[in-house]
Structure 1
Amino acid sequence: MALPLPDELSLLSGRFEARGEVEVWFSDELPEDLVELWPRLLESAEVTGLYPFICRRDDPYQVQDLSEVDAIRLDDVLAGDFVEYRRRRLPYWSNPAAGGDVLPDDDDPEDFGSWPHDPGPPFETWPGLAAGDPGTGAGVSAAEAGGWAVEELLGDEPFVHTCQLALVPARRSADVPAIVGWAAEAPVPLLCALLRSWEERFGARVVSGFGSALTVSVARPPLDVPHAEQLALEHVLSTADNIVDDPPTPFPEYANGLVGRHQWRFWWD
């Protein structure tokens, strides 16, 4: 059964469409006042259960079972993934001049050897999940950070103007990609497990998912480099291609860029 729309959208044209067992509302076009509207929609989602999401209504989709997300023990999974990631990358970190010839994984970029030297994460063993900000009120609200992320997205990403606004019935923002069926090469259950954890630790909220890119707003980003480095390793293990690899970015540079940053963007080629 479709939930009633928030009052803010009463004059906006759109329609409900079934995604699995739920009804998702899609606008016919993006609202002109989306930057101002977004914080109000995020705040009202706590009452209405309808989370805003920027996407393309006609993109292919594949609804995911949230029980697959529930089953993931994130720290254990990432610990195992880090062992495998380090095994594949260590030959390059140890001998960058050898380039891709020493990497056994066919999925690594063909021109890996010509990329700038990357020392990799400063961890020999899995350091555990990065600590979250305790949320003492010193930072900004999730709604405010969401508005900033939407404004940045609208200014920097020309293809966003081909999208629609969706309102997705969900218990939390982190589950939206699975419920709406955002389809990419991403491991969506693992990604949603990460998003749930980032939601709790950093005040993260999903903003958009179209094509192969996902955007997240962040109310409480890391404020120093050691904290950002631990978080950046989680970003790497999301498997997103743009983290370190595309464009080629040494791990320390990527981690430094997370300090104080209120928008995270991931894509899979």
Structure 2
Amino acid sequence: MTFSLPEGLPAGRLLPDGSPVQWQSDEPPSDPLAEWTRYQRQQGDTGLLPVLCSPNRRPEAPDLAAVDVFDLEGELERGWGAYRRRRLGWDEPAPPFDHWPGLAPGTLASSGADPDEAARSAFALLVDEWPYELWDGRLALVAARRSADIPVVVNWQAEAPLPLLCALLRSWEDRFGARVLAAVGSTLYVSVASPPRTEAEAHRIALEHLLTTADNLVDDPPTPFPQYAQSLVDAPLWRFWWD
């Protein structure tokens, strides 16, 4: 994999020293949208994917091999069984599935959407809706083959199960045109070019969200599952956080 740093970068450094996995700015960008968009448009030439992320310690060697061999369907089915047993008897509305329904069908191919263009629109929405959550985020340019691998390549310091998460992100990338936009603190922001259009589609995708083990969805959900699923209909931006 080859890459080249673009011209005109602000002050920053390569991580790790001498073996660049990413370049990261020393300070938060003054205009996150403009800077992220500029380097996202250049990614085909540079081979570097932009992401807004927290100041990282020196990254470890990326372990994408664990993602490559991850049994996504098997792990999600086991996770769904464990979730149902754990929540048995709870009063809140549960996901409307008696068994693991399988991955939600992909819609990207039939949508005609451009995932990179959708990512730019979603990043603008992110900056508009959650600016204070991004205040300490640094601009990083990551030597990753695909957006879904960014959390592993930058050694994202969160409680998220990275092999499961990145395997699922790869699948969302293929099925819905997902792109990782930011990983700031313990929160991950993902654009989606082809979000669910119907309630039935949204329920299947919401179940996959739930099985990421994200704390905003699993342990004490702020909204009942049906309402969360409904919020995904036509939503171009997905947000997950882990304590």
Flag whether TM exceeds 0.5 (same fold). yes
Give yes or no for the alignment of 1:142 onto 2:108. no
Q: Deviations over 1:10-45 (max 9, x none)?
A: 243222121895431012334444324434533432
For residue 154 of structure 1, what is the amino acid of its counterpart? V
The partner residue of 2:89 within 88, 91, 103 is: 91
Q: How many angstroms apart in 1 are the aligned matches of 2:16 and 2:158?
A: 20
Q: Specify whether residues 200 and 225 from structure 1 end up closer, same or farther in structure 2 by C-alpha distance, changes over 3 A only.
A: same
For residue 4 of structure 1, what is the amino acid of its counterpart? S
Q: How many angstroms apart in 1 are the aligned matches of 2:100 and 2:78?
A: 8
Cα contact 1:54–1:164 (8 A) shared by 2: yes
What is the aligned partner in structure 2 of residue 103 from structure 1?
A: none
Secondary structure, counterpart of 2:4 in structure 1? coil
Q: How many angstroms apart in 2 are the aligned matches of 1:19 and 1:65?
A: 18
Q: Which segments of 5 or more consecutive residues in structure 2 lack a partner in the other structure?
A: none
1:64-79 to structure 2, matched below 5 A, reads: 64-79=62-77
Cα contact 1:66–1:175 (8 A) shared by 2: yes
Q: Which segments of 5 or more consecutive residues in structure 1 lack a partner in the other structure?
A: 97-117
Cα contact 2:188–2:239 (8 A) shared by 1: yes
Secondary structure, counterpart of 1:162 in structure 2? coil
Q: How many angstroms apart in 2 are the aligned matches of 1:259 and 1:137?
A: 14
Q: Specify whether residues 137 and 259 from structure 1 end up closer, same or farther in structure 2 by C-alpha distance, changes over 3 A only.
A: closer
Q: How many angstroms apart in 1 are the aligned matches of 2:221 and 2:58?
A: 26
Secondary structure, counterpart of 2:229 in structure 1? helix
What is the aligned partner in structure 1 of residue 160 from structure 2?
A: 186
- The two structures, once aligned, show a CA RMSD in angstroms of 2.3
1:5-154 to structure 2, matched below 5 A, reads: 5-7=5-7, 10-18=8-16, 22-58=20-56, 64-92=62-90, 96=91, 118-136=92-110, 138-139=112-113, 141-154=114-127
Cα drift, residue 6 of structure 1: 2.7
Secondary structure, counterpart of 1:12 in structure 2? coil
Aligned residues: 242
Moved more, 26-35 or 78-87: 26-35
Work out which of the two has the higher radius of gyration on C-alpha atoms and give 1 or 2: 1
Q: Specify whether residues 218 and 132 from structure 1 end up closer, same or farther in structure 2 by C-alpha distance, changes over 3 A only.
A: same
What is the aligned partner in structure 2 of residue 100 from structure 1?
A: none
Q: How many angstroms apart in 1 are the aligned matches of 2:52 and 2:143?
A: 14
**Identical columns (%):** 49
For residue 207 of structure 2, what is the amino acid of its counterpart? L
Cα drift, residue 70 of structure 1: 0.9
What is the aligned partner in structure 2 of residue 203 from structure 1?
A: 177
Secondary structure, counterpart of 2:52 in structure 1? strand
For residue 6 of structure 2, what is the amino acid of its counterpart? P
The partner residue of 1:239 within 200, 213, 219 is: 213
What is the aligned partner in structure 2 of residue 259 from structure 1?
A: 233
